Amino acid sequence: MNTFFQRRYVIAGVFITLILILLVRLFYMQVIDDRYLQIANSNVIRQFVQYPARGTIYDRNKHILVQNKLVYDVSVIPRQVKAFDTVEFCRLLEITREDFDKRFKKAVGYSRALPSKFDKQISTELYASLQERMSEFPGFFVEPHPVRIYPDSAAAHFLGYISEVRQYDIEKSGGYYRPGDYIGKSGVEKSYETILRGQRGIKNMLVDSRGIQKESYANGAFDTLPVPGERLISALDIRIQKLGEKLMHNKVGSIVAIEPSTGEILCFISSPTYDPNLMVIGPDRGRNAVALDKDPYKPFLVRPITGRYPPGSSFKPLSALIALQEGIITPQTTYNCPGYYVSGNRKVKCTHVHGTVNLSSAIGGSCNGYFSMVFEKLINRQGAKKTEASFTDWRTNVVKFGLGQKLGIDLPDEKAGSMPQPSLYDKWYHKGGWRSSTILSLAIGQGEVEATPLQLANIECIIANHGYYYLPHMIKSTGNNSATEKIYTERHEVGINAQYFEAVIDGMQSVVDYGTAHGSKIPGINMVGKTGTAQNRHGKDHSVFVAFAPRENPKIAIAAIVENSGDGGTWAAPIASFIVEKYLRDTILPRPTIRPDYYMNSNLLPQLNIKKKPMRADSAKIKAGAVPPVKSAGAAQKPGKNIIANVVNKPNAR
């Protein structure tokens, strides 16, 4: 009897334990873990994501640069998939069975209960035929989705492109994005992603056992409407943007134009460029991206903000302004140029014999000797043995012009250029082992100083404004707010008194009126500028031209660089002048010596796979001494080669 009662308690205990386990499991399934609720709901209620239209981007004159078109994606909920004619499904989508298996496995890996993209951007015709037969393929359904189109096929580096999110993007967003969503990957699309993307909506629909939509769930009480992305009004002028891209066709380089009074970027050209429509999400996008990435001329490079170039002689006006402010020279300070400049035991050639020049005529004639003299006065002002202190002061003044630092443009991946620190020369020559003559190449914008095209254009804004600039920016306003962000309305002073600019501008005026840019003079428009020849150790020199116009009340400042094309007056100056004229008068009048179509049709693409020529011995170029070689972007340098001689001995180094 006792044994019977003991067994009864044991059996009762087992049943009670099982009941408790079941209750706990039911509580977990119904209250804690919502996965089963999702599975249950998905058998009756299906949530359809309503993707918002991405914000439209306009140019400064309200011309549409980017808009949307509707495409259709095929999505799948793996748990709802039942046996169907896979062969016919693959035939309709024009995919192989291997593609099907790979995509379905990926969808299962994401979630069996939640929808994920299976095929993207099917054609409108396929959508129409597929929509009628979706009941044959349980678990699959079609969702509309807007994608970008670019009516002008221009401004690719400015606009950027969107791409499917990666796991990193999903994690960084805190779960906002999910697999199959799109996100801005470059350009304005990336930097203004949160403004452009809008807010997704959800539509709840009742479906039958075959997955066919029946009606809205609860009359839409639980639906959320998509919120379109906000529009962007850019500073870009598509007229000169398209002209610049044509002028730079079959050339490597960059053009940046800025409105000096606002810092608004009027054109942003990186060449070679590409049609942004090639990067629209779709079946050909992958092949297009691979082809562009393999292009040896690097069309994906955003040269206006990542290209680093020696400014060459375009640096001379800046050097003159610092010397004027420091009281080292006056506009009347003269120098007798015999065709070379002597510094210690060095003899550096000038472009030609200039004779006696003052500040303005030295800029107009691009006299290397004059600016070498000015630089040495600056660096030796505290004595020849206190080079480092004076160099640090000089460097501080140069950095105020925006060199050696990021300007803060509203685009991703901007580079700072290069402005050497004293520690670099200490490393090369040991502390106290270098003098003004050692770094003399900096006087004429060579050596270790490198600038982006954006920085060069910004320096012209400073000169045009007589001493200040606004941060360069691409976007004027967002949404319905016409006001510019406060950060772009603050003046940045460079510490040069306004009175010193006129003598420098007089010199730049003479460059265009009768100097190295005379052939690019614009009839009826008073443009002032400076040509430059930026040395390139890997090939032919780069052609550089910087300018602003008109001289009184300037409307546009510009920097143009054409790689491997020689002196600044031959290519960069004419190309820049056409853009200036187009912007100011919306047409280009005939000129006696140059015409746009010649520059549009010229091919200056550098030859590829050219073997590097060994550098000649220093003794063949200068009398004595040595300074470091020109460095390529990101490359380490070692002392032992001369920069100055490579530049100033060239008769066209202006």
Q: Which of the residue ranges 17-26, 227-236, 251-260, 350-359 would you say has the lowest mean pLDDT?
A: 17-26
Q: Are 61 and 237 in contact (CB under 8 A)?
A: yes
The pLDDT tens digits of the residues spanning 400-414 come to: 999 999 999 999 999
CA neighbor of 261 nearest in space, from 402, 456, 461, 403: 461
The pLDDT-based confidence of 365 (bands split at 50, 70, 90) is very high
pLDDT interval class at 369 (50, 70, 90): very high
Q: Tokens for 264, please give them.
A: 């608004």
pLDDT band at 3, cuts 50/70/90? low
pLDDT, mean over the chain: 86
Mean pLDDT confidence for 77-98: 90
E strand or H helix at 533, and its extent?
strand 528-534
Indicate if the pLDDT at residue 239 is higher than 70. yes
What pLDDT shows up at residue 36?
A: 54
Instruction: Report pLDDT for 609.
Output: 67
pLDDT digits (tens, 9 = 90+) for 567-613: 999 999 999 999 999 999 999 999 988 999 999 999 999 887 655 55
Residue 341: alpha-carbon gap to chain centroid: 40
Among 541, 580, 584, 588, residue whose Cα is nearest residue 561: 541
Locate the domains of the chain by residue range: 45-234, 238-610+642-648
- Residue 303 has φ and ψ, to the nearest 5°, of -60, -35
Of 302 and 28, more confident: 302
Evaluated on CA atoms 545, 549, 553, 559, the torsion sign reads negative
CATH tag, 45-234: 3.90.1310.10
Confidence (pLDDT) at 391? 95
Radius of gyration of the chain (CA): 33
Give me the sign of the Cα torsion angle 302, 304, 306, 308.
positive
Residue spans of beta strands (DSSP E) within 180-285: 182-184, 201-207, 213-216, 232-234, 253-259, 264-271
Residue-level pLDDT at 368 = 93
Among residues 219, 208, 176, the alpha carbon closest in space to that of 49 is found at 176
At residue 121, the pLDDT reads 80
Instruction: Answer whether residue 635 shows pLDDT above 60.
Output: no
Confidence of residue 114 (pLDDT cuts 50, 70, 90): confident
Q: Please identify which residue in the block is written with the tokens 């134009």.
A: 257
Distance CA 535, CA 438 (A): 18
Q: How far apart are the first and last CA of the chain?
A: 117
In the prediction, which pLDDT does 406 show? 96
pLDDT tens sequence across 189-212? 999 999 999 988 888 878 766 555
How many CB atoms are located within 10 Å of the residue 455 CB? Answer: 28
Q: What is the mean pLDDT of residues 14-22?
A: 81
What is the pLDDT, as a whole number, of residue 648? 34
- State the residue for tokens 């001329």: 297
Q: What type of residue sits at position 116?
A: S
Residue 331 pLDDT > 60: yes
* CATH class given for the domain over 238-610+642-648: alpha beta
The mean per-residue pLDDT over the stretch 176-190 comes to 89
What does the pLDDT read at residue 619? 31
User: What digits encode the pLDDT tens for the residues 50-62?
Assistant: 888 899 999 999 9
Could you give the percent of the chain with pLDDT greater than 90?
59
pLDDT of residue 269: 98
- Report how many helices (DSSP H) and strands (DSSP E) the chain contains, helices first: 22, 22
Average pLDDT over residues 208-237: 82
pLDDT classification of 562: cutoffs 50, 70, 90? very high
Q: Tell me the H-state helices in 465-538.
A: 501-514
Q: Distance of alpha carbon 111 from its chain centroid, rounded?
A: 37
Beta strands in 79-128 (DSSP E): 116-122
- Tokens coding 5: 């009662």
pLDDT at 623: 35
The confidence score (pLDDT) of residue 389 equals 93
Q: What is the pLDDT of residue 640?
A: 36
Using CA atoms, how far apart are residues 340 and 515, in angstroms rounded to an integer? 20
**pLDDT at residue 653 above 70?**
no
- Which of 67-81, 83-97, 411-425, 600-614 bottoms out in mean pLDDT, i.e. has the lowest? 600-614
> What integer pLDDT is reported at residue 295 of this predicted model?
94
> Averaged over 353-366, what is the pLDDT?
94
639 is written with which tokens?
Answer: 């002392």
pLDDT for the residue 201: 86
Range of weakest confidence among 44-48, 348-352, 640-644 = 640-644
Rounded to 5 degrees, what angle do the CA atoms 109, 111, 116 make? 95
What pLDDT digit, counting tens, does each position of 447-470 carry? 999 999 999 999 999 999 999 999
Going by the DSSP 8-state scheme, the letter that residue 450 receives in this structure is B
Tokens of 21: 């386990």
Q: What is the pTM of this model?
A: 0.82
Q: Tell me the mean pLDDT in the region 83-96.
A: 90
